[in-house]
Amino acid sequence: MKPARKPSNPTRKNKTKISPRSKQQRPTGKTLEGIQRLVHSLEVYQVELEHQNQELRYAEEELEASRNRYLQLFDFSPIPYVVLDLGGVIIAANLRASTVLGMARNRLVGKHFGIFIPPKGRDVFMKFMKAIVDSAGTSTCKVELITKDKRTLDVLMEGSELVAPLESDRQLQVALIDLTEYQKM
């Protein structure tokens, strides 16, 4: 007697005998059209990005030119300028300020401006700084400065708050106008 055969499961046979051709279906007209539209969109985006990159390069060049003009105006100004933080520490100084104060610019940065003012004038300087911070305009004061080589200068300090949107700390810009020669006349 032969052993009984189990009935076959037709769904099982269909699942196991899937031909490789049926998995790799050719794209229909709709999917080919969709791919072409996608490729076109990508090409359009690429052109737009290239245009934006070009605009950014132009803006960067303009910014660099503007920055160079500012540095030339600041550095080579005949008037001594210093940029101070709210505590009176020198953040930047132009070449003329370096010459007047008798100290190299890289050595000025980080020094408290008060070291150039005799003790009797420091209160006037601090009131001047407070007036700049409290007002929206400019403030002036007359003080005596002592340079590194111990020369005494009478100066008119004119300052205002420096509006720098990219800087998080508030800064003050101060012009030093030497009155020594005027007073001698």
Q: Tell me which fold the domain 78-184 belongs to.
A: Beta-Lactamase (3.30.450)
Of 76, 82, 125, the residue nearest 103 (C-alpha)? 82
- The domain ranges of the chain are 28-70, 78-184
> Over the stretch 73-96, which tens digit does the pLDDT of each residue have?
888 899 999 999 999 999 999 999
Please state the pTM of the whole predicted model.
0.66
> Over the stretch 118-175, which tens digit does the pLDDT of each residue have?
999 999 999 999 999 888 789 999 999 999 899 999 999 999 998 777 767 889 999 9
State the distance between the two ends of the chain, measured CA to CA, in whole angstroms: 140
> How far apart are alpha carbons 115 and 118 in whole angstroms?
7
